[in-house]
Structure formats: structure tokens, C-alpha cells
Amino acid sequence: YDDPAGLIAASVIMELLAVACVSLRFYSRSWKGQVFIASDWVILVALIFATGLTAMEIYAVQGTYLGYPLGNSLDAAAVTERIIITKHIELAYMLLGVATTGLVKFSVCLLYWRLFARVMFRRFLAVWCVVVVCWTVAFLLAGLLECGSQLSALFSSPQVYYRYCGSAVPAGYGMIASDLATDLITLVIPVPVILTLIMDTRTKVLTLLTFMIGAFSVGASIAKAYIYIEVALGSSTQDAILSLTAISIWNLVEVQVGIVAACGPTLRVILSHLLPTDAFMSLISSMGRS
């Protein structure tokens, strides 16, 4: 996480990939003569927010606020200008990250609603959409109120921070745990429905693979949670700034890959030409005969 050029390159590549997928999604709808649905517009807003995250990541790295070792702990008595700016970036990044993650999950749920017409499934989706919205609002407020009415304490000395912001770490645990849980549930929601659809094995496997792209986003969420827990428990051997860098870049991966995954089902026809599905199905068939 102390490779500034690599961090910037990764951020730009992920941004371009997300922009390409959202653009293809809108192009595909237009080309097929289909109307744009709510899920499309929500993922577009998520992409705009994600672009803000990417810009923040690049700005922070170029300004040496992230990606460059601090040399000592954030618990140091002196609050340097660099640490104060890094804390501002951290707060803005966290709030925008929560909003973007919530939008991605909400867009995916709206897409499920459009694709699967079963009454019981839609009832569950309606409840789950409310859960996702409440999760997003709750942790946006938690981020803003982690120091109560003393928001400035977040940017003050460690002594002032620990005095007014004691709930920050427990709230952080709650956020990463619930973020991972909602990611997993959102990922597996369509699996039972897809398995019961009447279609040939090849098409069913391809459909599942298309929806399972989101597993990479879940993996990024796990990595982010692991790093946060290490830092919170004081078991991390990394420099404090590098720990923040690690959390921020994995947050960006989670968001950008989530956007790509949200577009996957709408690009299934294109993906079927890109993925080696015939070879994959031949392998499955040969394994079944052996």
C-alpha cells in the first residue's frame, strides 16, 4: 500500500472498467429499444459517486495524504497538518463510500425486481430494499455523529478524539459486519430462483456465473473488514497512514466491482460471447462422465 503509482493506476483502471460497463448497459438498452428502468438510473448515480471516490483516492495519494508512510502512530501527541487533512479525507471517503455502496445494493435489488416476477420473491425484495435504504441512512448518520455534537473532535488531538468519539470503533465494527452481511445476502438472493428456472444446464450455469460476479465485491468487503479489525485491535504492524490507505483502496474495489457486477446481468448476451462458456460446459460434462 506504499506504491503511489500502483494505487493511482489501480484506481483509474477500476474507474474505466466501471464506466465502460455502465455505458454498455445504457447502450444495450437503447440498442434493443428498451426503456431505461429505475435500476439503471440508480447505478448511474452510484457511478457518479464512485467517480468522486476515485478522484478523492487519486488526490489523497498525489498529495501524499495516503500511500506514504507517516513514520509514527496517529496516537502521536502532535497533530500535524497532514494528519488533519487525512482525517478530513477519511471522513468524506467513508460517507461517500457508504452512500455509494448503498446505491449499488439498491440498484441490484431493483434489477432483481425487474427480472424475477414471482410474488413471494417480490415481497421479500420489497422488505430487503427497505433494509438496504435503512442501512445506508443509519451509517451515514453514524459517520456524521460518531463524535456526537462535537464533530470537530474528529480532527483534534488524540486526547480530544478519544474523549468525544468513543463510539467510533464499535460503530465501525457494526458497519463492516453489516456491510459484509448485506453484500452476501444481496449476492445470493437470486440463486434459489435461478436454480428453479426451466432452462438447459449451460444457460443456467452461465446465468449463475453472470450474477456471481458480485462475489469479487464481497471479497473486497472481506479484505476491508479484516484490515479494519486488525487496526482496531491494535494488532496491525502497518503504518497508520498505510492502514487507512488499505481500507480506502479496498473500499474502492468493493464499490467499483459492485458496479460492474450490477451491470453483469443486463450484459449477459455480450458476456456470453466473451466468456469461454462452451469449454466450461464441456469440462463439467466430462467431469460428470468420469
Q: When comparing pLDDT for 65 and 185, which is higher? A: 185
Angle between helices 277-289 and 201-211 (to 10 degrees): 120
The pLDDT of residue 30 = 84
Average pLDDT over residues 257-267: 86
Inter-CA distances, 14 with 57, 192, 251, Å = 12, 30, 12
Kindly give, in sequence order, each residue whose CB lies less than 8 Å from that of residue 241, ignoring residues fewer than 6 positions away: 65, 66, 67, 68, 69, 70, 86
Measure the CA–CA gap between 62 and 75, rounded to whole angstroms.
24
Kindly give, in sequence order, each residue whose CB lies less than 8 Å from that of residue 163, ignoring residues fewer than 6 positions away: 153
pLDDT range class, residue 288, cuts 50, 70, 90: very low
pLDDT digits (tens, 9 = 90+) for 40-66: 999 999 999 999 999 999 999 998 888
Q: How many CB atoms lie within 10 A of CB 257?
A: 23
- CB-neighbour burial class of residue 152 (10 A; exposed 0-12, middle 13-18, buried 19+): exposed
Residues 65/242, Cβ–Cβ less than 8 Å: no
Residue linked to cell 497508520: 240
Kindly tell me if the per-residue pLDDT of 197 is higher than 60.
Answer: yes
Chain-centroid distance of CA 7 in Å reads: 17
Question: What structural domains and CATH numbers belong to the chain?
Answer: 4-267 (1.20.1070)
Measure the CA–CA gap between 30 and 26, rounded to whole angstroms.
6
* pTM reported for the whole predicted model: 0.83
3-state secondary structure 157-200: CHHHHHHHCCCHHHHHHHHHHHHHHHHHHHHHCCHHHHHHCCCC
Q: How many CB atoms lie within 10 A of CB 231?
A: 19
Q: How many CA atoms lie within 13 A of 250 on its CB side?
A: 21
Inter-CA distances, 276 with 200, 211, 249, 264, Å = 17, 16, 30, 16
The pLDDT of residue 253 = 92
Residues 150/169, Cβ–Cβ less than 8 Å: no
The pLDDT of residue 73 = 47
pLDDT digits (tens, 9 = 90+) for 3-37: 889 999 999 999 999 999 999 889 888 887 888 89
pLDDT digits (tens, 9 = 90+) for 87-112: 888 889 989 999 999 999 999 999 98
Measure the CA–CA gap between 247 and 221, rounded to whole angstroms.
10
The pLDDT of residue 129 = 94
Percent of residues, the chain, with pLDDT higher than 70: 86
